[in-house]
Chains A and B, each alone.
Chain A
Amino acid sequence: MAQFVLKRLLMLVPVVLGVSVIVFGLLYLTPGDPALLMLGEHAPQEQYLALREKLGLDLPVHIQYLRWLGRALQLDLGDSIRSSRPVTEEIATRLPATAELAVLAVLVATLIGIPAGVISATRPNSWLDNILTVLALAGVSMPVFWQGLMLIIIFSVYLGWLPPSGRLGGWEYFVLPVITLGTSAAASITRMTRATMLEAIHEDYVRTARAKGLNERRVIYRHALRNALLPVVTIIGLQFGNLMAGAVITETIFAWPGIGRLAVDAIRTRDYPVVQGVVMTFAVSYVLINLIVDLLYAYLDPRLRVRYH
């Protein structure tokens, strides 16, 4: 297993380096002077020259990249142009808010998605299955931003039960953002669980378990679900990617002080060091989460471990 982990970790290096090239290169995608782009046309000359100096814009591009990468490896992503605070500090203060939102959303999505998928698959083509299937399809088709606004209209404006925005502490502030962020993940997990369970139920070992006279509950949960869960683990991991994207939108709607909103604010104010920092943070977290999923997958399915030896 240690060898497997090491191999997977080594495979990450070129990917993360590649992402860093893209993140750094984004600023150079547009023709024109990056310093001018960040400060705007009417910036004072001294400020402009200072930024050019700071970004090392007079140096060849590859030297600029290596300097940026060297600093990034020491967790120095430069300073925010708007707040003048270090980008890493800006991200570190906001990351916990995004993390708690994402983890809660995945948790809720898994707790809803897996049982819903199992219920659907064990009663194929029943009215319950049809309703759950349609709901799941609607869940993956619903725009996150619209769903957030509709929840605000219903639960904050009309019913007055829950606060429409902010994160002042109480659990009531979490309800709407977590539902907004978790719905599409729950829907994807339901769809995947249903599909894999339907396959598992027709496998020989399930028939054997039934033939042994085990009760249906045990057959479904101990035999079929255990095997059906493998692909579901991957889907849950992949959901984190959608969740990061969803966080950008959800945090904007609910004025949630996480890094998603930081990204949108930074893009609007052309604060490129912050944009680069947030994108890099998202990419590294996504890659790491996928690594964890892979390892979990290998732990759950020993055949995969063997293949890497």
Chain B
Amino acid sequence: MKFKFKKYSPLPGFGLTFGYTIFYLSLIVLIPLAALFFKSFSLTWHQFWDTVTDIRVLASYKLTFMAAFIAALINAVFGFIVAWILVRYQFPGKKFIDALVDLPFALPTAVSGIALTTIYSKNGWIGQILEPIGIKTAFSPLGIMIALTFIGLPFVVRSLQPALDDLDLEVEEAAACLGANCWQTFYKVILPAVLPSLLTGFALAFARGLGEYGSVVFISGNMPLKTEITSLLIISKLEQYDYAGATAIAVVMLIISFVLLLLINLLQSWNNRRVNNGGVN
């Protein structure tokens, strides 16, 4: 039997559109990305290992991971509350809040970066309240966390909204009839049902935080070992024409991104399977 790549369809244009899709994808994304991996093969293992375990690089990983993780955690908690009120309640200004949630997607990162820095620096609106009581936000790890919280919020809210919308009120009623109180209903019925969506949102926000550059670079102060994130380290290696060093760090970051992407895909297919099975369990 002759092998047919595509199954029969009455519509035309598969060859043209599929061919163009693969061509353009290769040209813009795959070949340039491959260049990065090939470049990394030109390093010896020793060179590679020394670069990526340099004390300054390790400090930047630790900072980037911690800040992205805490920011994603803050977003998971507050993003849940925001998604909840948007799905469940009617109140004045709801449409405005719903639209505002997408601001971090729409506002260029450099703009949010300089705005946040201005607010949280010594003379800024919030900085002048926090600084006298001993909380330094701008030019400290706390500032990086604030910037990453700003960037990650829409991911959690937008992942949770459809899941909360799909929740059957009858299940909550059943829980209540069986004697559950508000809190029990929340963590035994609602939370397990929306968990895949919550985790997806968390992972998306975390992944975005790891790679973020524009909004962080202004507020972080960029002190080596203290407030230098990994993305910035790649740029400073590039500025010193240390392409090998930049490549090594970039490859590590890229592999972490790919693992996270895989994880997010798995979470989403878990979610889809549960939805398609017709129930929340």
Q: Do A and B come from one complex?
A: no
Chain B interface (Cβ < 8 Å from any Cβ of A): none
